[in-house]
Structure 1
Amino acid sequence: MAKPADPEGPTGKLCTWIEGVTLQDIPETLCTRAKYLILDGLACALVGAHLPWSEKAVDAILELESPGLASVFGWEKKISPLSAALLNSTFIQGFELDDWHSDAPLHSNSIILPALFAATEQISNLKSGHTVSGKDLLLGTIVGYEVGPRVGLALYGGHILTMGWHSGAVFGPSAAAASVSKLLKLPANSIEDALGIACTQACGLMSAQYESDVKRMQHGFAARNGLLAALLARKGYIGIKKVYERPYGGFLAQFGKGNGQTPEYRTDEIAKDLGMIWQTTGIRVKPYAAMAGTHCTIDCIKALQERNPEQLKDLGGINSIKIELSEAAYHHGGWEAQRPLTSTGAQMSNAFVAATQLVDGQVLAAQFRHDCLDRDGIWALVNKTTCEFNQDFPKLQTRVKIHFTGGKPTLQHTMECPRGVDPPLSNDQVLEKWRLLTRDVIEPARAAEIEDLILNLEKCSDVMAINTLMAGTTKNPIT
């Protein structure tokens, strides 16, 4: 066994675990949950493939590249594995429908799945007769699910959002590199190289959330860069050793600098409780098409609508709305929304999603069509809404207060966490979401075939079958 630079350090312990872990080491219930999580990620990719901003990205990349080996989901096009990973991730992140980790916020599927599927096609096309099994895909996915949140927890999870970093784009290259390294069966010293190459490419500015298209693509940078890192390490390219614990220029030292925490970073989280506590259990599936930090707001208003249907029919009688948020949610989604707003900004804004829930009674894909973003009724409520940081609120806790004119009583509701967090959506609910999302974008027989392959991954002898099905054309869900 080729050992990492310091086998007893956090980076070394992580690399040794990645090399040695097998499916037999992972609880059966966790393997089952991972298959449903993968299915959710693929649903998001199919929905996102032909959104307007996704089509712009595809057009730009296709102009740059000749045909290649790796599939672009929903397009019947093949390009280089690196660009396929970038685009397929952009699709998964395309409409704020994808998974998130409740303790160390990143969207794991948009980082891990595109890198793994692109690597699968690279392996299958360059090695005649070589196939990647569903078991290998499942194991590589779970490795990424475990690594990404641990890197995030070493930087205090969601706190990095308050510093203006896009957390998943920072934590994500490590997750993608770990997943692909496992798929490629790299030894521990090469895994260390891959992580070091991945970490030096990490970045993501959270100001992307306001009006840019590039917010959709930032997890794609992580997927592409992690894939590149593993492929370079496979050929013996040497990366940064001990990348997490280096005090000068190390990953944690640099991203933790000036964050106000004591200590600024926690190296012990990198390899903490590997194989005993499973971070995959912290991955949540979204019931709404909006940033996770808005979900408690949506649920608070839903609760008030259910309890006070008559009073909340009179939206014109609302005098003001106050939304109290925890620190990360406030910095991420408590900013003042101004008209006009793009769909990206709308899905990030607590004020906008609150108004949307009040007007439409739901916050799904249809609410963020271009023609829905400039409605007078929505903006009348947005302009009456203020968001405030409540320093006593832990993590996701939110309180909504709605004040009325004419002496009507104030309505108020507080929630510690939104639907889908505690408890998480069940496997049956994830399957229901898959079927709902795919119903209008691909033909039923194709959806059923993908579903069967993913939920029986251990029996799949060649993952290329999934790539082929995912590469077929899809419809735009919001036209």
Structure 2
Amino acid sequence: MSDLTIVQELALFAFRARTRGVGAELRTDAARRVLDVLGNSLAALETPAAGAVRALITEWEGRPRATALGLPGRYPEASAALLGGTLAHALDFDDTHLPSVLHPSASVVPAALAVAETTGASGAALLDAVAVGVEITVRLGMAGYDAALGNSIFFERGLHATAICGAVGAAAAAAMLSGLGAAEIGHALGIAASMGSGLLEANRTGGTVKRVHCGWAAHAAVTAAGLARHGLTGPPTVIEGRFGLLQAFCGPAADASVVTADLGTHWELPGIFFKPYPCNHFTHAGIDAALRLRAHGITADQIDRLILAAPTAVLRTIGEPLAAKRHPESGYHAAFSGPYTVAAALLGGGGLGVFHEDFTDSAAADPARLALAAKVSCRPDPRCDEIFPHQFPATLTAELHTGRTHTERVTMNRGGPGNPLSPEELATKFRLNTATALTPEAATAIPEIVYDLPDLPDLDHLIRALGTTQPHLPH
């Protein structure tokens, strides 16, 4: 039994990784996370949330230290992280850990990139920090997973664990790249635990604030590391204490021991799912089922009714209220709709199956898609409940005019260890994501640079390549 508190064990884990490295295999995986975040971020440059953040950090100004995507010049690292995290999460295209249902890279990578550029860190140091930050994020999320409930306690309480836990994990990454010792890294974690926040009500009833949650977590992380560097301290029992993070957010059902179990010997990082579709992860199995229907020659004009069966907990996000999910008010809301995404997969199908063009406001208002979405009913499925949340399964049944029915059951999501995206598919995702933001030369060069990060002495080549993006100045 260790005499260290949880945050002290996490800090020692991070310090050892800073001084010894995490190894070639984990660095390779972390590089894939960096590439995925950059592609998702560049695709999100035109989102209203990104525009709001760009306008704000331009008003703030400050010392030019780190790149802010879509803006010329440089900004304070906390401002760059705020914009970077917003972009990374804005299109709901970021990676997902199961069963915690967190999107860890969207907070960690932007914070790490901003601090790494500011401090002149090596590519290997960046990847070590990303690996540790992501690992800490998902372990905190798993401490709030209730196996009996079959769901995250954070989620059940309407709390966005991605941002809450992400602030702490990203603070570890930022502190490592700031060259802090174990004690100071622990203080950075303790400070960040007071800063993470996020409510999920926007998933149900609208509003774009959720897009900024990971940006604020990344901003908090950089701020926390900076405050720790200047001597501010955090409570040593900030994770497991009576008024610590887990008790405050999750209550007595949280299991603090999960955070440090096999820490350093077992890594969650390689099992985190990449998203093939730019929409809520709960919709993906329904999309895959709809694409299988298409592959069998079933078309929209043959369908009388579609029945989308999914885990009970999932339907609260993608199936309720049904009228709103059948007729989403915008492209953003369409990304959280089971009925709409099934219709889009049957009628659209860009990119890797469905892509950004399927989630514009005009696509969400398309009469043909809405007419097909209106034929979709949603219901809980006991078999899906048994699998969730280790996967996000779904069953889609098409009842045809002829009286025939056809059912497709998807139990294993694309993008995870059991059904991974190939290197070619990840490259396709990056290329499609950056088609309007990068020159073809940069879109080819950046993946090569990212995969070379373990051997690069700094981020200069990557920053120069990212500098080819067209500025998106605030209005």
Per the TM superposition, whether the score is higher than 0.5 is: yes
Change (3 A) 1:469 1:25: closer
Shift of 1:252: 0.3
Shift of 1:419: 1.6
Deviations 1:187-244 (A, max 9, x none): 2221221111111112111112243222211111111111111111111101122111
- For 2:86, give the aligned amino acid: T
| Equivalent of 1:268 in 254, 257, 262 | 257
C-alpha separation between the residues in 2 aligned to 1:403 and 1:77?
56
Is 9-18 or 40-49 further displaced after alignment? 9-18
1:324 corresponds in structure 2 to 309
1:236 corresponds in structure 2 to 231
Asked if the contact 1:69/1:80 (under 8 Å) is kept, the reply is yes
C-alpha separation between the residues in 2 aligned to 1:192 and 1:47?
35
1:252 corresponds in structure 2 to 246
Is 342-351 or 425-434 further displaced after alignment? 425-434
2:415 corresponds in structure 1 to 420
Asked if 1:366 corresponds to 2:362, the answer is no
2:375 corresponds in structure 1 to 384
Asked if the contact 1:161/1:328 (under 8 Å) is kept, the reply is no
Change (3 A) 1:13 1:233: same
C-alpha separation between the residues in 2 aligned to 1:34 and 1:386?
39
TM-score (norm 1): 0.88
Gaps of 5+ in 1: 1-5, 124-130, 258-262
C-alpha separation between the residues in 2 aligned to 1:63 and 1:184?
26
Asked if 1:285 corresponds to 2:285, the answer is no
Is 86-95 or 319-328 further displaced after alignment? 319-328
Asked if the contact 1:318/1:404 (under 8 Å) is kept, the reply is yes
Alignment length (residue pairs): 453
Find the residue that maps to 1:401 and give its secondary structure: strand
Asked if 1:83 corresponds to 2:79, the answer is yes
Asked if 1:334 corresponds to 2:319, the answer is yes
Deviations 1:274-310 (A, max 9, x none): 1221111122111111111110010111112212x1x
Change (3 A) 1:199 1:22: closer
TM-score (norm 2): 0.89
Gaps of 5+ in 2: none
Find the residue that maps to 1:93 and give its secondary structure: helix
1:184 corresponds in structure 2 to 178
Deviations 1:399-425 (A, max 9, x none): 1122234x4212212121222222222
1:343 corresponds in structure 2 to 331
Asked if 1:296 corresponds to 2:285, the answer is yes
C-alpha separation between the residues in 2 aligned to 1:364 and 1:377?
18
Report 1:308-323 matches (<5 A): 309=297, 312-313=298-299, 315-323=300-308
Give percent identity, aligned residues only: 27
Shift of 1:33: 2.1
Deviations 1:432-470 (A, max 9, x none): 322333243211222333223211112211224423432
Change (3 A) 1:94 1:471: farther
Asked if 1:409 corresponds to 2:404, the answer is yes
Asked if the contact 2:188/2:234 (under 8 Å) is kept, the reply is yes
1:462 corresponds in structure 2 to 458
Q: CA RMSD in A?
A: 2.2
Find the residue that maps to 1:320 and give its secondary structure: strand
